[in-house]
Amino acid sequence: MSTRASAGVYADQSGPAAAQALRSLGFEVGDVVVVPDGPAVGSVLRQAVDERYALVVTTGGTGLAPDDVTPEQTAPLLDRPVPGLAEAVRAAGVAAGATAAVLSRGVAGLAGRTLVVNLPGSTRAVLESLAAVGTALVHATEQVTGGDHPRHGHGPAR
């Protein structure tokens, strides 16, 4: 989510970094889509939910600038918030020495059967965030799509 990257002022780097990190976790990843900050964010998220993607990860638009509205465009789509994911993303940034990570307003939650997670826009923050929550994203998408999951190493849940 970047007005300048979508206008071609600079190349998006955080989206491709997120895609590569998600592939390394075993996700099948579609095209990276770059849209300007604002209502276009909500439109592309609604489309992804309508197309029933298991996971949608956004990068950017979570800060305090006037046009950073990714959380405001995401929140109305969410049926069930998953605040622990957003909290873990912020904590990962702080743990990596980016004290400004506490200013990220990203949200996460379920929109139907689609898990939506807002990440900060810097490539470094995206990689740190996905390193912190990647395993949880795999587990969450397995649960959301109805897959069985082990219960603390005691065999399949019943």
* Boundaries of every domain in the chain: 3-144
Q: What's the mean pLDDT in 39-53?
A: 96
Looking at 92-96, 128-132, 143-147, which range is the least confident one? 143-147
Confidence of residue 6 (pLDDT cuts 50, 70, 90): confident
For the 3-144 domain, the top CATH level (class) is: alpha beta
DSSP alpha helix (H) spans, the chain: 3-6, 14-24, 39-50, 70-74, 83-95, 123-144
Closest CA to 73 of 102, 103, 36: 36
Residue reference for tokens 């904590």: 91
> At residue 3, does pLDDT exceed 90?
no
Q: What's the mean pLDDT in 62-84?
A: 97
Residue 92: its pLDDT value, please?
97
pTM (two decimals): 0.91
